[in-house]
Amino acid sequence: MITSGDGIYSNWWRNKGNISPPEIHTILTDDNLDRHLHDYHAFGDETPYISLAAGAVLRDPAIMTNLVYDAVDTALFFATDDWDRPGALFYCWTVVGFHPSVPFEFVSESVRDLLIYRAWSPFHHEGEIAAKVHISANQIRRVEWWDPTVSQATPSHSWDNLGYQAPDPLLNERDLIRAPVIP
């Protein structure tokens, strides 16, 4: 996925083979996003969405505390089917919008952000980001292979992507203005 430059394809693209821009437009719908999130067992082979773990924080008012769900722990749970089989973790970035943007394939959906997606979901604690159709290889920083028969504490193998491009040019931030130090 990295060395070939292919990146990560959605199940829909991988199973269909060839896709066209008009097909992308027709498959990126609110209904299909909901099916991806809440009926993956039936829709998983056809989904144009790619689930990414971003972590989440939930409040428990009864004990007045925040519960943190780490993105890596969540991703490992899914990748290894709760440590029943080996699986891969991809460390990557994607552009996420401030509002629902389902028709725009280049903007991922922060579906567990309650300020953006307010409908109740039993999976909110997973902190999912739903990427669309494809994640470019140059957005993938590293891949780790986790084999529970070897270790549950460290990956069995790790590959850094030499073609990785950090998203810095896309960020809306300025360098810190530094004043000269006068002794």
Per residue in 92-102, pLDDT (tens digit) is: 999 998 899 99
Token pair of 27 as six digits? 């498959």
Rounded CA-CA distance 105/45 in Å is: 19
- Read off the pTM: 0.82
What are the extents of the domains in the chain? 8-170
Q: Is the pLDDT of residue 26 over 70?
A: yes
Q: Is the pLDDT of residue 178 over 60?
A: no
| Cα–Cα nearest to 10, from 164, 130, 165 | 130
Q: Is the pLDDT of residue 85 over 70?
A: yes
Domain 8-170: which topology?
A: Heat-Labile Enterotoxin; Chain A (3.90.210)
Apex 146 CA angle, 142 and 150, nearest 5: 140
Average model confidence (pLDDT) across the chain: 87
Any idea which of 92-106, 122-136, 145-159 has the lowest mean pLDDT?
122-136
User: Are the C-beta atoms of 112 and 122 separated by less than 8 Å?
Assistant: no
Rounded CA-CA distance 80/31 in Å is: 28
Rounded CA-CA distance 43/127 in Å is: 20
Token pair of 33 as six digits? 């996003």
Q: Which residues, 6+ apart, have CB-to-CB distance to 105 below 8 Å? A: 24, 28, 132, 133, 134
Any idea which of 109-118, 148-157, 163-172 has the lowest mean pLDDT?
109-118
Q: Is the pLDDT of residue 158 over 80?
A: yes
